[in-house]
Amino acid sequence: MRPSVLAAAALLVLAPAVPVIAPAVPAYAADSAPVRPGLFLTVSGSENTWIRGVKLHCTPKPARPHPKAEAACAALDAARGDLGALADQPLRCTKLYDPVTVSASGTHRGRPIGWHKTYSNLCVMKADTGPVFDF
């Protein structure tokens, strides 16, 4: 018999003898805390030399403070909430390296989202994310 088969058999035999310990996390742990609707979006410059952020509300309808809320919500809906699948915008960008990092956290249409990505410059970021991070 192979060693891996012996090890699996031993685990099956010993499993009933191991007591099950309930997790010591209370029922009201942080994971079950209510999440406020909407996405908090940030854009930050190289080495965090600058940062800006805005809240995007799409439910029940697009609303401020995001300056392009309607277009941003439409782009997110088209990508089914997947920020990595946003439609590219036709922009001509330079190859200048001045990195920007974007992040999104919160919910979109009830689905939790946590996402971030670094782009080589602001133009490339706008071309890849469209109106979502254009604030």
Cα distance between residue 72 and residue 90, in whole Å? 16
> What's the confidence (pLDDT) of residue 63?
86
Q: How far apart are CA 109 and CA 2, in angstroms?
A: 51
pLDDT(15) > 80: no
Report pTM. Answer: 0.70
Task: Express each pLDDT in 115-130 by its tens digit.
Answer: 999 999 999 999 999 9
More confident residue, 43 or 4: 43
Nearest alpha carbon to residue 83 among 52, 54, 108, 61: 108
- Residue ranges and CATH numbers for the domains of the chain are 38-135 (3.30.350.10)
* pLDDT tens figures, 42-68: 999 988 899 999 999 998 889 889 999
